[in-house]
C-alpha cells in the first residue's frame, strides 16, 4: 500500500491577498503573518464559511487529491465554533477528502490546545502537525489531552538545526504521543541533509512535510527538483524505516498560485514511490 499524498492547506497562504505581499511586510515571518491574518479574517465569519471552505476543498479535489492537511488559518481553534467544524466536516465528506493532519500552531494555553484536539478528533484526523508551546510548560496536561482524544502531536522543525535539537524539542516522557513532523524544506534551510535526518529520527517520525527550497540559509520554497533538498533520497530513506503515513506536499509561494508547481511535484513524487 502506497503512502497517501496530501495537499497542504497552507500552500494557499497568500491566496486571500492575491499572491501579492504588501510592501514593508518584512521577511518570511512578516509577510506570513499578514497573509495568515487576512485568511483568518476571511474564514472566521460563520455566515460565509461554507462558501469559502468549500472553494478551497473543491480546488484541492479538482487537482486529484483525496487527502489534505487542514491549515489552522482555515479552521482555527481560537474562533472555530461547533458549527464551523460541522460545516468543514460536511464539505470534506462531500468531496471525498480525508484529513491527514491539522497544520499550524496549537497554542500556549490549555483551552486552545484542548480545542485543537477536539477539532482533530471531529475530523477523524490523528495528527497535530506544527507547534505547541504549551508542551514546554504543561507537558503532563498535553500528554493526557492527546491520549483522551486519540491524537498525536508531531512537532515541526523550523529553527532546529539538526535531529538532536528536534529530540530536545520533543523531550521526555512522550508516552508515544509526541514525535516529529519532519520538514525537509526547513532542514534544507538549516543546511542539514534531510535524508540523513530520517535515519536519526526514525523512531519518532510521525509525519512528513515534503518541501524543496531554493537555497540554504533562506526559506524560498519551490517546485521539487528546483532546489537543494535531496527529496528522492529522503523518500527512499523513509521507505527504509517503514514510514507509512502521508506525504504532505508543501509549497507556499508568496507571488503566485502554487497549483502548477504542486502538480509537477506530485508527479515527481509518484514516480519515486511507484504510484
Q: What are the structural domains of the chain?
A: 5-273 (3.20.20.150)
Q: What percent of the chain has pLDDT over 90?
A: 95
Smallest CA-to-CA distance from 209 within 171, 238, 173, 177 is with: 238
Task: Please give the pLDDT value at position 30.
Answer: 85
Alpha-carbon span 123 to 118, nearest angstrom: 9
Task: Please give the pLDDT value at position 24.
Answer: 62
Contacts made by residues 217-221, CB under 8 angstroms, sequence distance 24+: 217/189, 217/191, 218/189, 219/28, 219/185, 219/186, 219/189, 221/185, 221/250, 221/251, 221/252, 221/253
Q: What average pLDDT does the segment 157-176 reach?
A: 97
Q: What average pLDDT does the segment 92-116 reach?
A: 98
Q: Which residues pair with 127 in a beta bridge?
A: 152
**Distance set, CA 30 to CA 24, 33, 35, 185, 203 (Å):** 9, 5, 9, 19, 34
Residue 123's contacts (CB-CB under 8 Å, 6 or more residues apart) are 70, 85, 88, 89, 92, 99, 102
* pLDDT, tens digit, 9 for 90 and up, residues 38-68: 999 999 999 999 999 999 999 999 999 999 9
Q: What is the rounded average pLDDT for all residues in the chain?
A: 96
Residue 22 pLDDT grade (very low, low, confident, very high; cuts 50, 70, 90): confident
Residue 220 pLDDT grade (very low, low, confident, very high; cuts 50, 70, 90): very high
Smallest CA-to-CA distance from 122 within 153, 156, 154, 80 is with: 80
Q: Is 197 helix (H, G, I), strand (E, B) or coil?
A: helix
Task: Please give the pLDDT value at position 274.
Answer: 85
Task: Please give the pLDDT value at position 272.
Answer: 96
Q: What average pLDDT does the segment 63-90 reach?
A: 98
Task: Please give the pLDDT value at position 83.
Answer: 98
Q: What percent of the chain has pLDDT over 70?
A: 97
* pLDDT of 25 over the 70 cut: no
Q: What average pLDDT does the segment 185-192 reach?
A: 98
Q: What average pLDDT does the segment 234-252 reach?
A: 98
Cell output for 157: 522543525
Task: Please give the pLDDT value at position 134.
Answer: 98
Q: What average pLDDT does the segment 71-87 reach?
A: 98
Residue 138: half-sphere exposure toward Cβ, Cα within 13 Å: 16
Determine which helix (DSSP H) or strand (DSSP E) holds 172, and give its type and residue range.
Answer: none
Task: Please give the pLDDT value at position 26.
Answer: 64
Residue with cell 461554507: 50
Residue 96 pLDDT grade (very low, low, confident, very high; cuts 50, 70, 90): very high
Q: What average pLDDT does the segment 196-206 reach?
A: 98
Task: Please give the pLDDT value at position 131.
Answer: 97
CA dihedral of 156, 162, 168, 172, whole degrees rounded to 10: 70
Strands 178-183 and 205-210: parallel
Given a contact cutoff of 8 angstroms between Cβ atoms, the answer to whether 78 and 257 are in contact is no
* pLDDT, tens digit, 9 for 90 and up, residues 123-152: 999 999 999 999 999 999 999 999 999 999
* pLDDT of 207 over the 80 cut: yes
Given a contact cutoff of 8 angstroms between Cβ atoms, the answer to whether 152 and 132 are in contact is no
Residue 23 pLDDT grade (very low, low, confident, very high; cuts 50, 70, 90): confident
Task: Please give the pLDDT value at position 127.
Answer: 98
Residue 182's contacts (CB-CB under 8 Å, 6 or more residues apart) are 157, 194, 197, 198, 201, 205, 207, 208, 209
**What is the DSSP annotation of 12-36?**
GTTGGGTT-PPTT--SHHHHHHHHH
Residue with cell 524560498: 220
Amino acid at each position: 500500500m502506497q503512502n497517501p499524498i496530501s495537499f497542504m492547506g497552507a500552500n494557499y497562504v497568500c491566496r486571500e491577498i492575491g499572491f501579492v505581499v504588501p510592501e514593508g511586510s518584512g521577511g518570511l515571518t512578516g509577510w506570513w503573518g499578514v497573509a495568515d491574518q487576512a485568511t483568518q479574517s476571511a474564514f472566521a465569519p460563520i455566515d460565509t464559511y461554507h462558501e469559502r471552505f468549500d472553494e478551497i476543498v473543491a480546488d484541492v479535489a479538482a487537482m486529484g487529491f483525496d487527502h489534505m492537511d487542514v491549515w489552522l488559518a482555515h479552521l482555527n481553534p481560537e474562533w472555530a465554533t461547533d458549527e464551523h467544524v460541522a460545516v468543514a466536516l460536511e464539505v470534506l465528506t462531500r468531496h471525498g477528502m480525508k484529513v491527514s493532519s491539522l497544520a499550524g500552531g496549537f497554542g500556549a494555553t490549555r483551552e486552545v490546545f484542548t480545542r485543537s484536539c477536539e477539532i482533530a478528533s471531529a475530523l477523524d484526523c490523528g495528527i497535530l502537525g506544527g507547534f505547541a508551546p504549551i508542551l514546554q510548560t504543561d507537558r503532563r496536561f498535553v500528554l493526557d489531552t492527546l491520549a483522551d482524544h486519540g491524537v498525536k502531536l508531531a512537532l515541526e522543525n523550523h529553527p532546529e538545526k539538526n535531529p538532536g535539537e528536534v529530540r530536545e524539542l520533543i523531550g521526555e516522557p512522550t508516552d508515544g504521543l509526541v514525535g516529529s513532523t519532519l520538514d525537509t524544506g526547513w532542514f534544507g534551510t538549516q543546511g542539514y541533509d534531510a535524508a540523513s535526518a530520517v535515519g536519526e529520527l526514525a523512531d519518532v517520525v510521525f509525519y512528513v512535510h515534503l518541501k524543496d527550497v531554493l537555497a540554504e540559509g533562506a526559506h524560498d520554497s519551490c517546485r521539487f527538483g528546483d532546489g537543494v533538498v535531496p527529496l528522492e533520497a529522503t523518500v527512499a530513506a523513509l521507505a527504509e524505516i517503514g514510514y507509512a503515513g502521508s506525504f504532505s506536499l508543501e509549497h507556499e509561494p508568496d507571488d503566485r498560485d502554487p497549483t502548477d508547481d504542486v502538480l509537477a511535484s506530485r508527479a515527481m513524487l509518484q514516480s519515486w514511490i511507484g504510484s
